[in-house]
Amino acid sequence: MAEPLIALKAVTKTFGSGQTAFQALKGVDLEIEEGDFVAIMGPSGSGKSTTMNILGCLDVPTSGEFLFKNLHVEQLDRDQRALLRRRYLGFVFQGFNLLARTSALENVELPLLYRGEAKSARHKAALDALDKVGLADWWDHTPAELSGGQQQRVAIARAIVTGPAVLLADEPTGNLDSERSVEIMELLTALNRDSGITVLMVTHEPEMADYARTIVHFRDGLIDRINGEASSSALAGAG
């Protein structure tokens, strides 16, 4: 049986120390297969955002193991985690995070600029990415000239322009109306299906989570259930 792309083993995360310490994660075990589409849900303070920050190499566990392609990420230093992010991960945020006075093409080129790619290569890759999200004809428009749904498409193009193995989406439909939300979810589903990108998405909306193949519910710093079945940690807690 193939090893999972991502594995969390007994991961904890504590913020602060002494009497003010808060344990956000209390021993999370999770395996994510390559090519899966995972929705992460749970109430505020349940640990889902902390888990996403760890999966995105933006934070590290207090204890436990985080393996990515069998690499122990928890043992990497800050610079090594940054290289892993740059090579393997793409990010999509609720607020789009586009540069306001910059064209769609230039926004999408940004990760390639950080990589030191030549201008011609950046231009071609960015146009290809915009084409994948249906915005090739809008390459010269600034965010102010685009709708919310179009801005999120540009953000998705920016996230996939480097050819990441994993796309991490934090409430990607949170600022969109229902029609635009469906369009974005259908786009993420197509990228997952056609390009093989593993998608990890945090959402509060059950109808958006239904697009995923795997739904992970967090509660009180632990995984409560996966696809409706209680997790082993939840069962242990109940016992």
CATH of the domain at 129: 3.40.50.300
**pLDDT bracket for residue 230 (50, 70, 90):** low
- Considering the chain, what is the average pLDDT of its residues? 93
Find the mean pLDDT for residues 17-34.
95
66 lies in a domain? Answer: no
207 lies in a domain? Answer: yes
231 lies in a domain? Answer: yes
218 lies in a domain? Answer: yes
222 lies in a domain? Answer: yes
* Per-residue pLDDT tens digits for 10-20: 999 999 999 89
Which residue range forms the structural domain that includes residue 142? 34-48+87-238
153 lies in a domain? Answer: yes
Is the pTM here over 0.85, yes or no? Answer: yes
147 lies in a domain? Answer: yes
43 lies in a domain? Answer: yes
Structural domains counted in the chain: 1
Give the 3-state DSSP-derived string for the chain, with helices as H, strands as E and coil as C: CCCCCEEEEEEEEEECCHHHCEEEEEEEEEEECCCCEEEEECCCCCCHHHHHHHHCCCCCCCEEEEEECCEEHHHCCHHHHHHHHHHHEEEEECCCCCCCCCCHHHHHHHHHHHHCCCHHHHHHHHHHHHHHCCCHHHCCCCHHHCCHHHHHHHHHHHHHCCCCCEEEEECCCCCCCHHHHHHHHHHHHHHHHHHCCEEEEECCCHHHHCCCCEEEEEECCEEEEECCEECHHHHHHHC
Q: What whole-number percentage of the chain has pLDDT above 90?
A: 88
